[in-house]
Structure 1
C-alpha cells in the first residue's frame, strides 16, 4: 500500500513558490517535488480562516456541516477524518506540528490537547495521543510567540533551552522593530531551536523509524508563514526588502467594496497582535485584516521579505523530509502532498493579513501531489480542499465517507480530465454578523453575497480583471449577470450564517 505524507503550511498563497511562477521565491525543494508531480494551479479553500479550512480538508465537509465554522469552536471528535479512515485501513497514523482542531484558549475544564490549558493538567504528562484518528502526535500550538506556551514543542523547548522562549519576543529581536507595525521583527531564537526545525526533525525521526511492513500516514504541519512576520536568522535576511515586488493594488479600489473592508485601518485603539496573544480581552473579528495606509513602504516591504524568508525556511525543511524518504527508499511508494490552509493578502488590494473578504489571495492556495501513478504537469482545473478526502480515498482504493467533496483522483494520472465548473466558499463571522458571506467562483466570474447586509456585494470579471480590483456588483450594466449568478449561488448554497458549534474561546 502507498504511504501518505501530507505537508501543510499556514497562511501561504498559491503564488508564493517558484514552481507556481513566483520569480523571487527560492523554493528549490518544493520545486523539485513539483517537477515530478501534479501542480494544481486553481486549488482553493472554501474558508479563508485557519480552523474551518483545516477541518474541511480533513473531513471532506464544508464548515456548516462539520461545525467548526470559526476559530474558537472545537471540531467534534465524532466526525470521520482522513486520519480515521486511513487508520481503519491499517495505516500507522502520526501527526507533527499545528493541528488547530480545538481552540488554543479553551479552558482547562475542556481537557483539549490543542489548547494551552491542557498542558497545565496532570494528564498531559506523557500524553501523545490518540488524537482525531492519529495514533500519536507531536503537537505545536499557535505560531511565533504563542508557540512557546503549550504542547510538545513548548515542553521540548523548556527542557532543551529554558531561556529560548524569551528569544521569540519582539523586545529581544535582532534589529529594531518598525514603529508602525509591531508584527515585523527578526526573531533572535536560534534556527535549530525554532519550531519549524523541531517539526521537521520530529517528522524525520518518525520516517526513519517507520515499520515499512505497514503503510503510514504522516501529517507535517508548519505554523508559518502566518503572521507575525518574524523569521529567525538567516531567513530573516535572505531577501532584500528593496527587491520585493509592488503589491497588486489600485488607487481607491476599496471605495467600491463593502465598507467594512476600508474600515479595517488598524487605528481603532485595539491591542497589538502580540498583546492580543498575551491577553486577548474582548473577541475581535477573525484574521486581523488591516489596510496598509498606516504602514510605510519600508515596513510593508520588510513584511514581504520576511514572508518570503519563512517560505524558504519551510522549503529547506521540506528538503530534509524528502531526503529521509529517499534515504529509506520510500519515495517511490509514498504520495507526498504539499498545501496550506489559506492565503495572505500581503499588501494586495492595500490590505494585509486575512479576514472576511474572500479575495483570491486568501482562497487560492498551493496544492502539489507527487507519488505513484501521478504524472508530472500543471492541473488548471478547479479543485477544492473539500475534495481532498474523497480524492485520497479513491486514489488509495479505500472505502470511507467522502463527505461534501468530489474526488479528482482521475486527474492524478491524466491531466486532461474535467472537474467541476464552479467553486463555493463561505465565511462565518465571529463578532460582526453582517460580514458573513458566501461566494460562487466560475471560470469567468466571482460573486460574493452578504446575507445579513444585502447592500453589500462583490462581482468580479475574472477574465478581464484577474486581480479582482474593480467591483461590478452595483454597476447596472452587469445587473443581469449578478442576478443570475446570485440565483445559482442561493440554489446551490442557501445562507447559513448561524451554522456551527458553540464558541468556547476567543480563538
Structure 2
C-alpha cells in the first residue's frame, strides 16, 4: 500500500455509451465492465469534448477544451508546446511511474506511425490508430512470426464484403497485445505508485472481430439502428456538413445473397454513410461491433486479474471510458463527423475507487471527459494548473454531491482530412435540450431529449418555440465562449 493509489486509466476508441450490459443493453456481453460497474461508480451522462479522436484525447489529457488547447484536427503537424498533458504533470510533481500502452494520437502520424511529444512517460509501448504501430508490430514479428505485419489488415479489407466481418485470430489482435503488456507493467511495478494510460484501438472501424467472438452474436438478434424515413430527407438537408461518408450514386437495397460480390468493389467506394439501414447489412455491422467490444471486455478482464493476482487491486483507481462514440447506423449514419447525436458524443464512464466509491453507485450528473485529468490530479494530491478547465469528479465519487455541471460542450472544427466542407460545429446540452450549431453552413438543430430521446425531431423551426429558442441560443453562446480561456498568465498590473 502507498499513500496515493495506483491509477489505471483504460480508454477505448469509438465506443458508444449504450454498449455495456450492466447499463441496460441486453444484447451485448460485457462481464468485466459489468464487474467494474458493480464495484465502482457509473457516470451515465458523460460527454466527450469532440466527436473525433485527436481533439477529444487532447481535451481529456490536458483538462482543457478544444477552443483553448487548439488541437482541433486529426493529423496536426505538431503538439502545441505550451500544452502539458497529465503524465508530464505527474512526472514533474510526484513519484508516480508513468506508462502508456496502446494508442496515443495527439499529433501527426507518418505512415500511420504517430509521433510522440515529450510527454512524461517512463514507459511507452505504442500501437498506432490503424492498422499497425511500433511495439505491436514488433510483438507480431518476434512473438508470432508475422513476417509482414503491414499486410494483415489490407488482406482483411480485400476479402471482406465491406469494412466489417471476421478478423484476425485472437492471438494476433491488438487487444491481446495490450492486455499482455499492461499485465506485465502491473507486475513489474508492485512497489508503486504508478499511472498507466491504457489506450485500446478497438472498437474503432474497420469492424473485424475474431471469429470466436463474432460467433456469439447472431445478426438476426441485433436491434436495428434508430431510424425513421424522415431521416433520409434530414440527412440530405445536412449533406454539406462533413461526415465520414462516400456518396454512392446507385445505392441498392441490401441483398445478403449479393453482398459477397462487394469484395471486388474498390476500397474507396465501400463505406456507406447517410443511407437507410436497409441499404447495407446493419444488423451484421452491429454484430461485428458488439463482438469487438466483448473482445475488449475480455482483455480488460485479463488486466483486472493481473491487478488481483499482484495484490494491488485495493490500492488502484480504475477509470474506464472512450474518446467518443459511433453512429452505428442511427439516423442513417455510420462512424463519426460533424454531428452531435447521442451515439456519437455520449460515452461510457466507470470509476472504481476501492474504499471510497459506493459499489454499484450510478450518477446522473452531467460530466465531461475534460473532467478526468483534474480528477486524477486531485486524487494524486497534486495542485491543478491554473489553466486546467475541467472540474474534478471527486465530490461525486465520495458521495458529497449529486450535481456537477449545468451543461456540457462539444465541438468539431475542421477535424477530418479530405472532407469537402471542413465544417465547424458546436453543441451544448443542459440535460434536457441539446442545441447544435453548424457555424459555416447556416444550419442548426435543437432536440428535447426528455420528450424525444431518439433525436428524431428538431425544434429549430417549431412554431411557438421562438422564445425558448432565443433563451437556448443565448445559453449556447455563453457556454461555448466559456471554453476559451484568457490565455497567458498576468504578471503585470497594467
Q: What is the CA distance between 1:136 and its match in structure 2?
A: 1.5
For residues 449 and 263 of structure 1, the distance between their equivalents in structure 2, rounded to whole angstroms, comes to 13
| CA offsets 1:183-216 (integer angstroms, 9 cap, x no match) | 01211x321121110010000001011141x300
Map of 1:460 onto structure 2: 447
Map of 1:393 onto structure 2: 377
Alignment pair present for 1:203 and 2:182: yes
Question: 1:197-346 maps to which residues of 2 (within 5 A)?
Answer: 197-212=176-191, 214-256=192-234, 258-260=237-239, 266-268=246-248, 290-293=273-276, 296=279, 299-346=281-328
* Alpha-carbon spacing, 1:317–1:102, altered in 2? closer, same or farther (3 Å): same
For residues 131 and 5 of structure 1, the distance between their equivalents in structure 2, rounded to whole angstroms, comes to 21
Map of 2:136 onto structure 1: 153
* Alpha-carbon spacing, 1:263–1:37, altered in 2? closer, same or farther (3 Å): closer
Map of 1:283 onto structure 2: none
| CA offsets 1:36-90 (integer angstroms, 9 cap, x no match) | 1000000110100001001101100111211210101133254221111222211
SS in structure 2 at match of 1:225: coil
SS in structure 2 at match of 1:446: strand
For residues 40 and 406 of structure 2, the distance between their equivalents in structure 1, rounded to whole angstroms, comes to 23
Map of 1:443 onto structure 2: 431
Map of 2:260 onto structure 1: none
| CA offsets 1:138-157 (integer angstroms, 9 cap, x no match) | 000023xx22xx41111222
Which of 26, 30, 46 is 1:27 aligned to? 30
For residues 232 and 396 of structure 2, the distance between their equivalents in structure 1, rounded to whole angstroms, comes to 38
Q: What is the CA distance between 1:259 and its match in structure 2?
A: 2.0
For residues 341 and 479 of structure 2, the distance between their equivalents in structure 1, rounded to whole angstroms, comes to 21
Map of 2:253 onto structure 1: none
* Alpha-carbon spacing, 1:332–1:399, altered in 2? closer, same or farther (3 Å): same
* Alpha-carbon spacing, 1:459–1:117, altered in 2? closer, same or farther (3 Å): closer
Q: What is the CA distance between 1:233 and its match in structure 2?
A: 2.5
Gaps of 5+ in 1: 107-114, 119-128, 281-287, 498-507
Q: What is the CA distance between 1:422 and its match in structure 2?
A: 0.9
Alignment pair present for 1:76 and 2:70: no
For residues 309 and 156 of structure 2, the distance between their equivalents in structure 1, rounded to whole angstroms, comes to 39
TM superposition score normalised by structure 2: 0.86
Which of 456, 465, 482 is 1:478 aligned to? 465
Q: What is the CA distance between 1:167 and its match in structure 2?
A: 6.9
For residues 489 and 152 of structure 1, the distance between their equivalents in structure 2, rounded to whole angstroms, comes to 43
SS in structure 2 at match of 1:427: strand
Map of 1:13 onto structure 2: 16
Contact 1:131 / 1:137 at 8 angstroms: preserved in 2? no
Which of 372, 381, 398 is 1:413 aligned to? 398
Contact 1:339 / 1:368 at 8 angstroms: preserved in 2? yes
Map of 1:57 onto structure 2: 60
Q: What is the CA distance between 1:484 and its match in structure 2?
A: 1.4
For residues 175 and 367 of structure 2, the distance between their equivalents in structure 1, rounded to whole angstroms, comes to 28
Which of 307, 315, 332 is 1:350 aligned to? 332
For residues 483 and 388 of structure 2, the distance between their equivalents in structure 1, rounded to whole angstroms, comes to 18
For residues 30 and 277 of structure 2, the distance between their equivalents in structure 1, rounded to whole angstroms, comes to 31
* Alpha-carbon spacing, 1:16–1:172, altered in 2? closer, same or farther (3 Å): closer
Map of 1:116 onto structure 2: 113
For residues 107 and 114 of structure 2, the distance between their equivalents in structure 1, rounded to whole angstroms, comes to 12
TM superposition score normalised by structure 1: 0.83
Contact 2:232 / 2:275 at 8 angstroms: preserved in 1? no
Map of 2:99 onto structure 1: 94
Q: What is the CA distance between 1:433 and its match in structure 2?
A: 4.8
Q: Give the aligned length.
A: 458
| CA offsets 1:459-489 (integer angstroms, 9 cap, x no match) | 0011100111111112232222122111121
Task: Decide which moves more: 67-76 or 331-340.
Answer: 67-76
Alignment pair present for 1:103 and 2:86: no
Map of 1:44 onto structure 2: 47
For residues 446 and 55 of structure 2, the distance between their equivalents in structure 1, rounded to whole angstroms, comes to 24
* Alpha-carbon spacing, 1:8–1:158, altered in 2? closer, same or farther (3 Å): same
Q: What is the CA distance between 1:418 and its match in structure 2?
A: 1.4
Q: What is the CA distance between 1:416 and its match in structure 2?
A: 4.0
Contact 2:46 / 2:349 at 8 angstroms: preserved in 1? yes
